Amino acid sequence: MLTAASLGMLAYGLWSAGAALVDLLVLRRLELLANLGAIVFGLLLVLAAPLVRVRLPGGLALSAGALSGLQALALHEAQHLYGEVAVLPQLTRGLFALLLVLLARTGAKGATTGGR
């Protein structure tokens, strides 16, 4: 479970940072600080993913913080681009982040008790 959570966090971080970089350099739909924030939080999640995998203390908290930051920026982006926040895409994104954190937490507890 730790591996799945770490790979999910890595992919989510790379996707978020990449999408923000494309918007910053090509599309220019959002303001500079929103894109830079998404890049920073995405790269922070990429950094935290291996820390979660090796169960470094604070790694899961770092990844949860990065996921929360990305969720907040997604809400900002939806309001800025579309004038409203659609509930289903935001709920799906939030539930995916929660699933990653729960997988990592469950995997870490199983690894300390001897289960895999």
Which tens digit of pLDDT belongs to each residue from 13-72?
999 999 999 999 998 888 999 999 999 999 999 999 999 999 999 999 999 999 999 999
Return the pLDDT at 94: 93
- 27: domain range? 2-112
* Whether pLDDT at 115 is above 60: no
Q: Considering its fold, how many domains does the chain have in total?
A: 1
| R_g over Cα of the chain | 15
Note the pTM of the prediction, 2 decimals: 0.87
